[in-house]
Amino acid sequence: MKADLIKTEDLNEIVLENGKIFRSKKGQSPDDFWAQIANEVDETYEDTLELSREVSVDEILKSRPESLRIRLKAENLGPLEEQIITTVLAGREQIDPPKEEKPAREGSIGQPLPQETKERLLANKGKRVKFIPQRSGEELEGTIRGLMYDKRVGYAYYRILDENGKAYHKRVTSSDLYFV
């Protein structure tokens, strides 16, 4: 007959495959306890006792919470193992509480550009501007061709075409953007 052996420092528990549970006396060694239960199984069930699984507290502590929750649903779970698993899970939930969602930042982030602001900025479409691109650092002249709003960061950008037809994006509030 197959059995699970659950070991702690001072208690041991054997759970037989038929659901019968045996608990050791305090301080009894696992080997002595196993021999005692093997004799009892041999006499009662006329079958030999086979170890199918040996579990220690250290193994339970190393297990992931998901696998411990699955183990709690098992049919042949002894009370000692159940107590150890629930204690470990409760302790982990106190140490690692579920992460709370951060509140959204205040301001216009994630919100669409207000219509009156959009109309005011689009009124500049077609106007000539001087600007300094971030990469080259030299002043260029171009024409505003459109407006882009990035709601992830809450900034509006002009789409500017220079004399050569190359497109640039410059933030509307940039200090190096001048109307000609």
Just give the CATH number of 115-179.
2.30.30
Distance CA 116, CA 155 (A): 15
Tell me the percentage of the chain whose pLDDT exceeds 90. 26
Confidence of residue 103 (pLDDT cuts 50, 70, 90): low
φ, ψ at 7 (rounded to 5°): -115, 135
Separation between Cα atoms, residue 97 and residue 95, nearest integer Å: 6
Average pLDDT of the residues in 99-107: 54
16-69 per-position pLDDT tens digit = 888 888 999 888 888 899 999 999 889 888 888 888 888 888 888 888 888 888
Tokens linked to 98: 């579920």
Instruction: Give Cα separations from 68 to 63, 81, 83, 122 (angstroms).
Output: 7, 10, 12, 60
- What letters, b where the CB count within 10 A reaches 16 and e where it falls short, cover 78-96? bebbeebbeebbeeeeeee
pLDDT the model gives residue 97: 52
Judged against a pLDDT cut of 70, whether residue 102 lies above it is answered with no
Q: What does the pLDDT average to over 121-134? A: 93
CB within 8 A of 6, min separation 6: which ones?
Answer: 12, 13, 14, 15, 55, 56, 78, 80, 81, 84
Domain borders along the chain are 2-95, 115-179
In this structure, how many other beta carbons lie within 10 angstroms of the beta carbon of residue 34?
19
Q: Does residue 151 contact residue 135 with C-beta atoms inside 8 Å?
A: no
Residue 105 is predicted with a pLDDT of 46
**Predicted pLDDT of residue 98:** 54
The pLDDT of 11-17, averaged and rounded, is: 89
Q: What is the mean pLDDT of residues 63-78?
A: 84
Given CA atoms 167, 171, 175, 177 in this order, what sign does their dihedral have? positive
Strand partners, 158: 147, 170
Positive or negative CA dihedral for 108, 114, 117, 118? positive
**What is the tens place of the pLDDT at every residue in 140-168?**
999 999 999 988 888 899 999 999 999 99
